[in-house]
Chains A and B, each alone.
Chain A
Amino acid sequence: MAELSLTDIRKSFGDTEVLKGISLTVADGEFVSLVGQSGCGKSTLLRIIAGLEAPDAGEIVIDGQPVNDLPPKMRNIAMVFQDYALYPHMSVAENLAMPLIMARLPLGARLPLMRLVSPRHKAERPGIMADVEKVAAQLRIDHLLDRRPAQLSGGQRQRVALGRALVRDPKLFLMDEPLSNLDAKLRVQVRKDIAELHDSSGLTFVYVTHDQTEAMTMSTRVALMQSGTFLQVGTPNALYTQPERLDVARFIGSPEINNLPGEAIAGRVHLAGRPLDLQVPVDGPIQIGIRPEALAVADAPGLIFPAELDRGHLTELPFKKRLLEDLGPELVLHGSFSHFPDVDIRIRAQKSSKFRLDGPTASRTDLDVLVDPDMILVFDAQGERLTTTSRMQPVEGVA
């Protein structure tokens, strides 16, 4: 059980400032993901929490205790690495036992061959093996204990790495892109395993990933990083529906949010020269973000669009379809509005059972697309989110 608190963490490598004053509090039992593109500093931050890297400034507190000066082993943390970092020359059982051997045996009893003569080794061995077997059973790797890592599949190695982290009963679980070496199908499986592990253990997790899907599906909160700072920290839903910046809106969500230039005239949002039923507190050029599922195609039998689309004040724009991706239960249409031929637009639609690929909806290229002002995110020219109000009622955001 542990709470983690970071205050104004800074770190530079040479002239490159990697972390520019990071502050974050992770509550006991929380699952926080650090997400961002490679090079944003997320792995460095995790290594600083682990104690593998020392910050230039700032304070790290685990469970009320400042740990800046403590080595990794004293911080009571566990870490799972991207390449698993299993000891290739040891069996699975030995890998799992390693943290316990290091913690429970003095140096003299750990030296080679001492296992044969050291009384301390003899006394501790059964307890260590019992703990190893318990964790192995919990992770369903008890049948693999005698194998070496090279004889295991990727998913099994991943579980051994989890086991080695779990066996020492850590307060804080750190994970550095643990799924990136797995194939797509296994990734979904291990994602579920990790989420279940979090639920059942009640431990505090900090998880680093560049994959927004992983972050969104597993976390209680997501911290989105860019160039050494947090862009936004919040629940997955808050990041998706209430992004504070255009960068956040673009990073979170797949397919990516549609981004169109717009204009505010006398506080009213205009898209493609047409006034929308939407007010913003600025004038001049603005940026409009529309999620792919917030667009609807008019007269499209076989497609289902969200019921929240308010038919009352929709704006209709001509759209040229270039590509249709059939994802099974849903479709993604790629194309562009006639007013913005250079901007790629993605529309996501549910298929109904009546949908047919050779039907009229799929074969047409010129479509009319409906834009619902209530489902639009508006950002200023610098990418900061603007609060919007509808003429009819104040809009807090999109459901």
Chain B
Amino acid sequence: MASTAAERAQARLAYGLVAPATFLILIIYIVPIAVVIGMSLTDYTLISDYYEFTGLENYTRMLDEEPFRNALWNTFVYAAFLMPLAFGLGLVIAIAIQERQQFRSILEVLYFLPVTATLTAMALVWAALMDSRQGVLNGTLELVGIPGLNWLGSEALVLFSLAIISLWALIGFNMVLFLAGLTAIPKSLYDAAAIDGADGAIDKFLKVTWPMLGPTAMFVAVTNSITAFKIFDTVAVLTQGGPNRASEVYLYLAYLEGFEYFNMGYSAALSLVFLAIIFAFALLQALVIDRKVHY
């Protein structure tokens, strides 16, 4: 193929320009993932330089291990409690704020504030609130005659307590997304609906608000599910997986295996399975949202 000097210079310039970004993507994303994939096929530990290639043993081990199933189950229970509430409350608050004329921006800031706070630090505040003897929550419950609960110390309750903390941090985020979606709905659609007869709250919601929020709702649901599966910091700070491994969630297990038990190979395999789960959610979002956005 004959190419002129100008074309070759052009090509050199093009490669030169994309080289820095390519290099960064390689060393920040591609190489670490490749290393983790490689590591997951070995029995590498942090305490020894010696390791052997073990094939898929780390992955088959997962299926047999009770801690893996326990962590997966805990994460699902936590997510199943958190996601509908974060979605529903975020939507209700967004609609309520949207209808307001006064104090709207103040309310928006108040609800969004937890999103900006450092959850690790705020977890300590929640630990104080949820303290079984001196906590404000139990104090309030006892005032109205309900016996106090052992929020973070009970096996039955700990996942819900963690979900409440995450809920507090997540609602503001969802609210802002829903508010953006609500603001984008043309006002004339509500006018047209009112003239067509859909002027009640239920009809307005079903005929206009909800269908128009479809893409936003899908986005919120998917990002929430990813956030829910990524729970780690509150567990690490407040419960360390306890009591009796009742709050040992997926990423905390991966952390324990890697950095407490030094099984880096197994931990790497856990991380990759987690990556696959998140990827499945992202794929779902891409496929469904693209099809749902018809306007």
Interface, chain A (partner B; CB < 8 A): 47, 50-52, 71-73, 77-79, 81-83, 85-90, 98-99, 102-103, 107, 110-112, 148-150, 164, 168
Contact = CB atoms under 8 A, between A and B. Distances in A.
Interface string B188-200: 1101111111111
Contacts of B214: 89
Given A99-B197, A102-B197, A107-B202, A88 B191 contact: no
B188 A112 contact: no
Nearest to A149: B295
B186 interface: yes
Interface string B265-295: 0000000000000000000000000000011
Given A72-B199, A87-B207, A82 B188 contact: yes
20 contacts: A47-B191, A52-B191, A71-B194, A71-B199, A72-B195, A73-B194, A73-B196, A83-B186, A86-B192, A87-B189, A87-B192, A89-B211, A98-B198, A98-B207, A102-B198, A103-B197, A107-B200, A149-B295, A150-B295, A164-B192
A89 B295 contact: yes
B196 A150 contact: no
A98 B196 contact: yes
Contacts, number: 76
Contacts of A82: 188
B195 A50 contact: yes
A111 B198 CA distance: 12
Given A82-B188, A85-B191, A87-B211, 12 more contacts: A50-B191, A52-B194, A72-B199, A73-B194, A73-B195, A81-B188, A85-B186, A87-B208, A88-B212, A88-B295, A89-B295, A102-B203
Nearest to B197: A102
A148 B191 contact: no
A148 B293 CA distance: 12
Contacts of A85: 186, 188-189, 191-192
Contacts of A168: 196
Nearest to A99: B196
Contacts of B197: 73, 99, 102-103
A77 to B, nearest CB: 7
Contacts of A77: 195
Nearest to A79: B195
B206 A111 contact: yes
B186 to A, nearest CB: 6
The size bracket of the interface on B is: 20 to 34
A112 B205 CA distance: 12
Contacts of A79: 191-192, 195
Contacts of A110: 203, 206
A155 to B, nearest CB: 19
A316 B208 CA distance: 65
Nearest to B295: A88
A81 B190 CA distance: 11
Interface in B166-206: 186, 188-189, 191-200, 202-203, 206
Residue from A52, A78, A112 having most chain B Cβ neighbours under 10 A: A52
A173 B199 CA distance: 19
Nearest to B187: A85
A125 B191 CA distance: 25
B294 to A, nearest CB: 6
**9 residue pairs, one from A and one from B, having the closest CB atoms:** A102-B197, A88-B295, A85-B192, A85-B188, A73-B197, A89-B211, A99-B196, A81-B188, A72-B195
Most chain B CB inside 10 Å of its own CB: which residue of A83, A87, A90, A107? A87
A95 to B, nearest CB: 9
B196 A89 contact: no
Contacts of A148: 294-295
